[in-house]
Structure 1
Amino acid sequence: MSRRRTPTKRQLSPDPIYDSRLVHMVVNRLMKNGKKSLAYRLFYESMKKIGEMTQQDPVKVVEQAVRNATPSVEVKARRIGGSTYQVPIEVNPERGTALAIRWLLISCRSRSGRNMVSKLTNEFIDASKNTGNAIRKRDEVHRMAEANKAFAKYRF
């Protein structure tokens, strides 16, 4: 990592069908072993199913799911004088979105089910309704931050 200057953030191009940067971010995190076309196919099939099941715009459902799963605070381990404290810190909006996408995909991969499309569909619908494993993870992180509020003075 360079000490001289921070690298510039690269702007992600929007995806070809829905023209959304968030969709492109989800597809990039969904992709494994560089198989982007497979990731796009899985995600677009899932979006089609979301549209059929909810009778709403699937991009709005995905945006709502990511918004619901985004944490506002998290804990970070900080070593002070020989003991380690879990210090609650505010989450940057970009990092919050990245965490939400990561948690949504981890929870949909750990779901029981037949194929990835149905697991992805159900997880996004659940998260948009404020249920599901990704929401549980967010609540757990918020609870940890609340429990360690006394160590907020060690924030950097």
Structure 2
Amino acid sequence: MRRRTPKKHILSPDPIYDSRLVHMIVNRLMKKGKKSLAFRLFYGAMADIHQITQQDPVQVIELAIRNATPSLEVKSRRIGGSTYQVPLEVPPERGTALAIRWILSSCRNRSGRTMVSKLTNEFIDASKNSGNAIRKKEEVHRMAKANKAFAR
């Protein structure tokens, strides 16, 4: 290690649902520093999730993130001139960050009219263990299993 590791930035909980996870998702959803727009989109999706599932939307989102969180990932390592994909266990914070990233990228690639409806449907799908984010997680797990021989 050449440099010191930066200290972890602790997020404040969001104003309405009092959840740190919600604030993390809003920060990843935000583009070009437009946080109020990101909050508006996300809270719209939360209202829709509540209307469709008749459950607490924060719990649905927590379940979706938990379902999309990978336990293994592959990392490229150079050993003796050739590159191997080495499977590694994912620390909990990185797992959550990956899950949020995958859910948001898959909802951006989803077909639909509005971002609110795409967000709503992706979170509901992920909470039911389907959707593109879950497929991505399973793909990463398959890669890790295939390269189990290189695990140290």
TM-score of the aligned structures, taking structure 2 as reference length: 0.98
The correspondence of residues 7-156 of structure 1 with structure 2, limited to 5 A, is 7-153=6-152
In percent, how many aligned pairs have the same letter? 80
Q: For structure 1, which runs of at least 5 residues remain unmatched after alignment?
A: none
Amino acid at match of 1:55: Q
1:35-86 CA distance string (max 9 Å, x none): 0000000000000000000000000000000000000000000000110000
Change in 2 beyond 3 A, CA 1:25/1:2: farther
Mapped partners of 2:63, 2:50: distance in 1: 14
1:82-136 CA distance string (max 9 Å, x none): 1000000000100000000000000000000000000000000000000000000
1:15-47 CA distance string (max 9 Å, x none): 000000000000000000000000000000000
Q: For structure 2, which runs of at least 5 residues remain unmatched after alignment?
A: none
Say what the alpha-carbon RMSD is for the aligned residues: 1.0
Change in 2 beyond 3 A, CA 1:52/1:135: same
TM-score of the aligned structures, taking structure 1 as reference length: 0.95
User: 1:7 Cα deviation (Å)?
Assistant: 2.1
User: 1:6 Cα deviation (Å)?
Assistant: 2.2
Any runs of at least 4 consecutive aligned residues in structure 1 with deviations exceeding 2 A, and if so which?
none
User: 1:147 Cα deviation (Å)?
Assistant: 0.2
Mapped partners of 1:105, 1:75: distance in 2: 21
Change in 2 beyond 3 A, CA 1:79/1:136: same
Aligned length: 152
Mapped partners of 1:2, 1:13: distance in 2: 30
Tell me, what secondary structure is at the counterpart of 2:9?
Answer: coil
Mapped partners of 1:57, 1:48: distance in 2: 10
